[in-house]
Structure 1
Amino acid sequence: MSTLPSDFIHEANTAFKEQDYSTVNEAATTISNMQDKGQLLTKRKQEPDMDFEVSQGHKRSYTQMTPYARTRINKDDNLWQILHGLKESSRIPGVIPHLEPHFTTLNHKGNTVAAYLCSSFTDHISTGLMDLGWGCGYRNAQMLMSFLQHTQQDGDAIIRQVPDVSGIQILLERAWEEGFDPQGARQLQYQVYKTRKWIGTTEVYSILSYLGIRSTILDFHQPTGPNQTHEALMDWIQSYFECSSNSNPSGGQKQQNKTVYFTNRPPLYLQHSGHSRTVIGIEILKDGKRNLIMFDPGRRVLRSYRGTSDEPPLTPTYPEDDMVEPSLTMTSEKYDDETRKCNNSNENVANMSFGNRLLSGITQRTSLPANLLRPFRVDAKAIAKNRQYQLLVLGDVIDERSQGGQLYWDEPKGYLLDEVERQDKKSVASIVMTL
């Protein structure tokens, strides 16, 4: 398996840390200058005293020789008492099932051939008022953890709870103290707690490894398709979801003329310079083009998506900030423009008489499925705006390309590390997908 020391964004963190959206242009200039000087954002320079895995000649066959590290960590009451759990009002469950009818409608219009979506255990979590501009890494980590909290292995939940932003910062510092990713710790000066420092793929990898959770980093260093598109990235994500053992339409038996496939796959953490998002699926269009379906922590979710698929829409709320006093949080009455427009339109129509509603249906522009999916769909052209990407995958990815095989997600191996494997994860390594 071809591996390299991986740090997709540590240099970018140095340039972007403690920046907000008002300074994005200045930070982007800094990143551009770094690229001109030949500093790859996806690689961390190896220092002489660092013990990083540069190559892996053979892969240790998997047999659980020691207990799962998760068992010990989940029983550490001292640790979990320090960590504050993410408030339930800050997370939005049940969004993924709400996407199905929009894809189905687009299929009837001849646009969408198929859509593959990750496990519905994944919650949508947005940045709050006080972490706007720097909290995307934390929020995407929380979305991965929401899946892990609702997933069991060996008779117990994989993770005991989803920590708030401060809790994730505590976990990262604990991981550094135990020897995980020492170079990343030095670059962030061994401190993130109560700061606005950005975190990226390697920090999330270290946190998960510290908690005894298996994950794999895939590096896509450059575009592989026409017009600077990332065909290799799109191909791997499509294969990841299509090959799911549970990729049946609407969760039932596989049938013809079905569009939406709910899988048992965990979400993916997608990083580029300056931002990260959570991939929850992929859409295949009639013309062969593809859209990634993503949860972007910087974008709000319409009220019609809130709640589970079996429940009526909930009252609109904004995610509560984990790091500020309640008096500074955004109130639920302050919708974004898109949410307000949609909600007001629905309420006005609901209050009309039948005749007026009939006339209104002729003159009033209705929300199209494509518009309702806009916060989630990202096409190949938008992905091409960034040259380099890094993907963090929960679980293990097996690379058999050197033997003429494929690179695939190893579902039977599960998500839990034993104590020996956990020690091996202290040196961060990635699989290079494109050179």
Structure 2
Amino acid sequence: MISSCPICNIQVLTAELEQHANIHFEDDDQLQKDMELAHQMALAESNTDIMDGPEHCAGSFTSDSNTQGASSSHSEYLHHYGKLLDEQISCLVGAQIRSKVQEVEGGIMSLLRSCLESEGGSSTCMISGYIEHHQSLPSEDKGWGCGWRNIQMLSSHLLKQRPEAREVLFGGSGFVPDIPSLQRWLEIAWDKNFDIIGSNHFDNKVYGAKKWIGTTECATLFRSFGLHARIVDFDSTESSGLKSKNGKRAASQVQGPMDKFLIKNNPPKSSSELCQEDAESMRGQQVLVDWIWNYFASCCSDRFTTPRVTVSNKSPLYFQHQGHSRTIVGIQKKKGRGSQDQYTLLILDPGHRTVDLERTLRSKKGWQSLVKRGVHTLRKPQYQLCYVDSGIADSEEMEQLKTIDSILVRF
């Protein structure tokens, strides 16, 4: 819950309202400064978005044409705004709520690894390490919360597998927050100027709203903590981008949450158009699965390797496509007819119940229909993946991470 401070009208978490209000009475000078700051913020909101840039901030708080005076006002504003942002973060760290997740004895990935190793035939699998399954709940986020659930699944992996991420994620809390808390963290990322285009798309507000999000918001959230979140765009449409001179795909700036993935009412297609789509689909399927296989295979652990299953040190993949998003936790390869390999994606879907996943994996019966997705199911013209590389960004990198772009792979 968010409440207005009765002294300065600044929005703070209800749980921290009393502590915030008491600060005003510790120092009369501080009270006056807070009142002035509240007045400045009100002026800024009435004139322009306070995060549009330094020139807007300075212009909102002074009518003096003297450059030195404007610069001084702007510096003072940034100082006060930074203190407010720090206070919001501090409040959120203490008030955020742990996400409710069903505990699976032994872990979902351990059960999946056992199932994969017990299968007959010749196959090789690449899977990620520890991850929790976070399911959508009918009473909370049915139909719109899949993106948030995938963020929670990725977070569970990072908190368990990467000590450097555990130190910075969610204020060092060490647990996966619920959706409302994640929404507040995303708003704070926007306040820090991460993904200005995306924040404008949402009018800078997402807390308490049942709004669809996508890979852009996932990357924004993790980047705001200094994590190297990357987006890869797989696209067959003509207008998606161009190759650079060296033959590599040019980076594409990501705009909006998942606009191009939303279902649109398009006119019926001719048979020739459908044939062309089938050809593009087959080509896109191979490009996508080749990339995913190489991704997981590029950084493997020696500790858990068996003849059939190799555990990768790479993070799971946030997998976005038209109308839905899921989490890819691995990929299976089997020798097909001739020299063509057959691939199957291993996916955790927020739309499935955790109890069903655990039951089928533990019994080794029926789990394939919940986890496996064959290449033939990949018939969309566009896909996006989001993953998190290791390491923490320094101050210079943090500025670069504020612009959300993607690696474009055309097929």
TM-score bin (small chain): 0.5 to 0.7
Cα shift at 1:91: 7.9
Alignment partner, residue 379 of structure 1 = 374
How far the C-alpha of 1:264 sits from its partner, in A, is 2.0
Rounded to whole Å, the distance in 2 between the matches of 1:157 and 1:99 is 28
Match of 2:152 in 1: 142
Partner residue in 2 for 1:419: 395
User: Which residue does 2:294 correspond to in 1?
Assistant: 239
**2:342 pairs with 273, 286, 289, which one?**
289
- Indicate how the Cα distance of structure 1 residues 176 and 147 shifts in structure 2: closer, same or farther if over 3 A, else same: same
Contact residue 300 and residue 311 of structure 2 kept, 8 A: no
- Superposition pairs for residues 353-392 of structure 1, below 5 Å? 369=365, 371-384=366-379, 386-392=380-386
TM-fit CA distance, 1:298: 0.6
What residue number does 1:81 align with? 94
Counterpart CA distance in 2 for 1:91 and 1:80 is 27
* Alpha-carbon distance in structure 2 between the residues aligned to 1:102 and 1:238: 19
What's the offset of the Cα at 1:247? Answer: 5.6
Amino acid of the residue matched to residue 142 of structure 1?
Q
Q: 1:93 to 1:188 in 2, by over 3 A?
A: farther
When residues 101 and 178 of structure 1 are mapped into structure 2, their CA distance, relative to the original with a 3 A threshold, is: closer
Relative distance call for 1:182 and 1:394 in structure 2 (3 A) is same
Q: Does the 8 Å CA contact 1:166/1:194 hold for their aligned counterparts?
A: yes
Query: In the TM superposition, what are the counterparts of 1:321-400 in structure 2 within 5 Å?
Result: 369=365, 371-384=366-379, 386-395=380-389
RMSD (Å), alpha carbons? 3.0
One-letter identity of the residue aligned with 1:236: W
For residue 281 of structure 1, what is the amino acid of its counterpart?
Answer: G
Partner residue, 1:57? none
Name which structure has the greater RCO, CA cutoff 8 Å, separation 6+. Answer: 1
Structure 2 unaligned spans of 5+: 1-51, 54-84, 237-276
Give the letter for the 2:196 counterpart. Answer: P
Q: Distance in 1 between matches of 2:225 and 2:165?
A: 17
CA separation of 1:126 and 1:172: change in aligned 2, threshold 3 A: same
Match of residue 225 from structure 2? 211
User: 2: distance between equivalents of 1:124 and 1:81?
Assistant: 25
Supply the distance in 1 between the matched residues of 2:400 and 2:110 (Cα, whole angstroms): 38
Aligned partners of 1:434 and 1:276: how far apart in 2?
20
Q: Cα–Cα, structure 1 residues 297 and 211, in superposed 2: closer, same or farther, change >3 Å?
A: same
The answer on whether the counterparts of 1:272 and 1:389 sit within 8 Å (CA) in structure 2 is yes
Report what 1:169 is aligned to: 183
Corresponding position of 2:126: 116
From 121, 127, 135, give the equivalent of 1:126.
135
Bigger-Rg structure (1/2): 2
Q: State whether residues 194 and 403 of structure 2, in contact with CA within 8 Å, keep that contact through their aligned partners in structure 1.
A: yes
Paired with 2:377 and 2:312, the residues of 1 have a C-alpha distance of 25
Distance 1:262 1:238, change over 3 A: same
Paired residue for 1:184?
A: 198
Q: Give percent identity, aligned residues only.
A: 29
1:220 to 1:262, Cα distance in 2 relative to 1, 3 A: same
Structure 2 CA distance for aligned equivalents of residues 126 and 92 of structure 1: 17
Matches within 5 A, 1:17-56: none
Q: Does the 8 Å CA contact 1:225/1:231 hold for their aligned counterparts?
A: no
Q: Which amino acid is 1:195 matched to?
A: A
| Alignment partners' CA distance in 1, 2:95 and 2:198 | 24
Alpha-carbon deviation of 1:113? 1.1
What is the match of residue 102 of structure 1?
A: 115
Contact 1:221 1:389 in 2 (8 A): yes
Residues 9-24 of structure 1 mapped to structure 2, 5 A cutoff: none
The answer to whether the Cα contact below 8 Å between 2:164 and 2:391 also exists between their aligned partners in 1 is no
Shift of 1:174: 1.0
Q: CA deviation at 1:204?
A: 0.9
Amino acid at match of 2:385: L
Letter in 2 for 1:115: C
Distance 1:128 1:247, change over 3 A: farther
The residue that corresponds to 1:263 in the other structure is 312
TM-score, normalised to structure 1, is: 0.58
- Deviation string 1:75-122 (CA, Å, 9 cap, x unpaired) is x6433113222134478871111012322332x2x2x511111012x1
Please, which moves more after superposition, 168-177 or 144-153? 144-153
Match of 2:110, SS state, is helix
Question: Given residue 301 of structure 2, which amino acid in structure 1 is its aligned partner?
Answer: N
Amino acid at match of 2:141: D
SS in structure 1 of the partner of residue 370 of structure 2: coil
User: How big is the shift at 1:184?
Assistant: 1.1
Q: Report the residue type matching 1:231 in the other structure.
A: Q
| 1:155–1:167 CA distance, 2 compared to 1 (3 A) | closer
Task: Give 1:298's aligned residue.
Answer: 351
Q: Secondary structure at the match of 1:150?
A: helix
Contact kept, 8 Å, 2:220 with 2:402, in 1: the verdict is yes
Relative to structure 1, the CA distance from residue 389 to residue 183 in structure 2 (aligned partners, 3 Å threshold; closer, same or farther) is same
Structure-2 separation of matches of 1:208 and 1:154: 13
Letter in 2 for 1:426: K
Structure 1 gap segments, 5+ residues each: 1-49, 52-71, 307-338, 344-366, 396-413
Deviation at 1:156, TM superposition (A): 5.7
The count of aligned residue pairs is: 278
Q: Which TM-score applies when normalising by structure 2? A: 0.61
